[in-house]
């Protein structure tokens, strides 16, 4: 039973279809945070010590992930009727 729940792609795809614009926006934010981390690493890393760079990258990625996690929660709440999971 647990194995069957692990691979329920159909319900996940239905959830994406239910709120496609919101899902694409969240995916864009996630990609944007990843790109920002690469840009910070390759530009700011030239001017600051390594430990400062690591702290800055940690902050950027952690804050970005918090924003994405919050957005995912809002996505599911906003589309709960269309998704039908709640």
pLDDT at 7 over 80: no
| SS3 category, 10 | helix
Instruction: Annotate 24-81 with three-state secondary structure.
Output: HHHHHHHHHHHHHHHHHHHHHHHCCCHHHHHHHHHHHHHHHHHHHHHHHHHHHHHCHH
The answer to whether the CB of 66 falls within 8 A of the CB of 2 is no
- The answer to whether residue 1 scores a pLDDT higher than 70 is no
Under the banding of pLDDT at 50, 70 and 90, the label for residue 3 is: low
pLDDT digits (tens, 9 = 90+) for 25-79: 889 988 998 898 888 888 988 888 999 989 988 988 898 889 888 988 888 888 7
Token couple for 17: 């279809």
Q: What is the pTM of this model?
A: 0.68
Contact 79, 18 (CB under 8 A): yes
Residue 5's pLDDT is: 60
d(CA 12, CA 5): 11
């Amino acid at each position: 039973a647990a194995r069957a729940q692990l691979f329920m792609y159909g319900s996940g795809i239905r959830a994406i279809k239910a709120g496609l614009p919101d899902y694409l926006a969240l995916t864009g934010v996630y990609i944007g945070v990843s790109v920002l981390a690469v840009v910070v690493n390759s530009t700011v890393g030239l001017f600051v010590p390594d430990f400062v760079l690591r702290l800055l990258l940690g902050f950027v990625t952690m804050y970005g992930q918090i924003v994405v996690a919050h957005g995912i929660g809002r996505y599911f709440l906003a589309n709960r009727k269309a998704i039908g999971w709640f």
